[in-house]
Amino acid sequence: MIMGFMDDLKTDQRTQMLVAGIVFFSLAFPLYFNYAASNVDEFEASGPIGNYSVEGTYSYHLLGSGDETINDGESADLSINSDSISSEIDGKNIVGVRATLTYTDNEQSPFGCGSAEDDVTGHLMHSDLHSTEEVNSGDVVEILWHDSTIIDTTVSNMSESEIIALLENSEGRGMGEHFLQISVDVNKGNCADQIRETNDNDETVSYTWELISLEYTITAVE
């Protein structure tokens, strides 16, 4: 019987096609099902791709505040550890840090003399992250480690897990040491007689230093 089958395999076209089909499907089916299973796993891990409404609310947690009188050309160097507010931020999704700097130019200008705004710069540092801004009074210097641009928007062609990865602090950012440097460069106004000068040698800068947390909801939309 085996010899007859072998003879047919050599000479009969139908037998050859049958054997070729068996070999093909025996190889193709395992490959197909492995591919399908991997796609199912990926789908289950990331969720369906679609359109999602993302809404968020920010909260601010005070690290420190105060006033610093800084001479012309000098800086105030401040540091603080998040341990100081550990009970307040425990379990929070910390997504950034900010410092709000306010000041009033204390330049004294005699009659016939003008005034000039001083240059105040804030430099925030945390871990390997830095942000430096020259500020006007009331401006904010901040470092963010999430995608704030998708808050209160509808995003498309993404899965829910991909959106969460953009919003969730999964690396422990915000914990530990933080540094704030405030620098002042005094600018003096001109006097009409070109002899006198205004009296301005420093600036008093007030700062409010805060961690930023985010709560968010993600809703599938049609």
**Among 46, 64, 79, which residue terminates a domain?**
46
Are 120 and 29 contained in the same domain? no
Q: What is the DSSP string of the chain?
A: -HHHHHHHHHH-HHHHHHHHHHHHHHHHHHHHHHHHHHHHHHHHHH---EEEEEEEEEEEEEEEEEEEEEETT-EEEEEEEGGGGHHHHTT--EEEEEEEEEE----B--TTB---PPEEEEEEEETTEEEEEEE-TTEEEEEE-S-GGGTTEEEEEE-HHHHHHHH---S-TT-SEEEEEEEEE--PPPBTTSS---B--EEEEEEEEEEEEEEEEEEEE-
pLDDT of residue 104: 84
Are 107 and 125 contained in the same domain? yes
Lowest mean pLDDT, pick from 47-51, 162-166, 203-207 = 47-51
Q: Is the pLDDT score of 127 beyond 80?
A: yes
Model confidence at 33, pLDDT cuts 50, 70, 90, reads: very low
Model confidence at 12, pLDDT cuts 50, 70, 90, reads: low
Lowest mean pLDDT, pick from 34-38, 107-111, 137-141 = 34-38
Are 101 and 10 contained in the same domain? no
Are 108 and 145 contained in the same domain? yes
Are 66 and 37 contained in the same domain? no
pLDDT tens digits, 199-213: 667 889 999 999 999
Range of the domain at 41: 2-46
Are 40 and 83 contained in the same domain? no
Model confidence at 110, pLDDT cuts 50, 70, 90, reads: low
**Among 46, 61, 78, which residue terminates a domain?**
46
Are 85 and 128 contained in the same domain? yes
Residues 159-187: what's their mean pLDDT? Answer: 94
Q: Report the domain count for the chain.
A: 2
Are 142 and 70 contained in the same domain? yes
pLDDT of residue 105: 75
Are 25 and 63 contained in the same domain? no
Are 14 and 83 contained in the same domain? no
Are 67 and 118 contained in the same domain? yes
Selected residue with higher pLDDT from 185 and 63: 63
Are 31 and 96 contained in the same domain? no
Residues 168-187: what's their mean pLDDT? Answer: 93
Q: Is the pLDDT score of 165 beyond 90?
A: yes
